[in-house]
Amino acid sequence: MQRQHVEKPWCRYADDGLVHCKTRIEAETLLEELKQRFAECGLELHSDKTRIVCCNVKDKQYPTKSFDFLGYTFRPRLVTNQQNNTLFIGFTPAVSKTAVKAMRQETKRCKWHLRSELSLEEIAQSYNPVLKGWFNYYGKYTPDGLRPVARHFNNVLVKWVMRKYLRFKGHKIKAIRYLENIAQNSPNLFAHWQQSKGFVVV
């Protein structure tokens, strides 16, 4: 890339990479050159991950319109113009479904709903670094994409309340209202409450 394609913007992280081309023909030619170069080094491009994606939202001819990179999915989305508050279709990133699934699985793995020996403050102190990391990284673009992660952890907290306090056993609605009250009075207790501006269970 540095010797033969200095005019093309490109980036990589470990073994993942992106190259921006101006035309489809340019992209197809570069892909063949990359395959040949990798073969010379005894390597090959990943057949499932390597493909040409059209980022022009107005181009209806090229079928592939999205790709995943570093936990983000880049695809056409409805975007708000910050200058005049109008909506338009732009090619923008948001947290990928794979990343959302991984975050939910990590929360399940911790089994916070079973940790009735802990206080709510102790759970927050222990898990807030993880939540902050997720929201700081994946929330930089299209933060609404993290709502499923916040809702999932809120549901875990509801189960924790129902297990810890006998008066809430079997009373999910009351447990939700109990946590809503805490979130209203202490919105900074959990990192995802700060980011999602409240407590929501759906």
Q: Are 154 and 201 in contact (CB under 8 A)?
A: yes
Token pair, residue 32, equals 């063949």
Residue 80: the pLDDT is 82
Residue/partner pairs of 193-198 with CB below 8 Å, 24 or more apart? 195/135, 195/139, 195/143, 195/146, 195/150, 196/146, 196/147, 196/150
Question: In degrees rounded to 5, what are phi and psi of residue 144?
Answer: -60, -20
Give ∠ CA 118-121-127 in degrees, rounded to 5.
85
Distance (Å, rounded) from C-alpha 49 to C-alpha 201?
Answer: 35
Tens digits of per-residue pLDDT, 145-178? 999 999 999 999 999 999 999 999 999 999 999 9
Task: Go through the chain and tell me how many residues it has.
Answer: 202
Question: What is the tens place of the pLDDT at every residue in 42-98?
Answer: 999 998 889 899 988 887 777 778 999 999 999 998 888 878 888 888 889 999 999
How large is the C-alpha radius of gyration of the chain? 22
Among 174, 132, 181, CA closest to 153: 132
Instruction: Give the pTM.
Output: 0.85
